[in-house]
Amino acid sequence: MLRDVLSGALRLWDVAGTVKVDADGLIVTAGAATLRIVPRAPHGWIVVQGGETLGEHAGVPGLLRQLREELAPQAARGRLIIGAQ
């Protein structure tokens, strides 16, 4: 499910990229950037690029904000609403 949310966010931000599931979490690739999203126990995620931890997030909004800042700094700031309206 998170893979689908991140893929939708990339489309919304007009970023050509992919989100793949691997044994350790998710891999988001866009242009020259590759970010690894690793689940953090008991909940949340760590964002890693290369060997550097870029951030730790307990919720989806913070995770999306960081991904937008890393992959699409030119994208309009605003809310990404997830779910039925």
Determine the pLDDT at residue 79. Answer: 63
Whole-angstrom distance, CA of residue 76 vs CA of residue 39: 27
Q: Walk along the chain (85 residues) in steps of 10 and give the mean pLDDT of each run.
A: 92 93 94 93 91 93 92 78 60
Task: Give the predicted TM-score (pTM) of the model.
Answer: 0.84
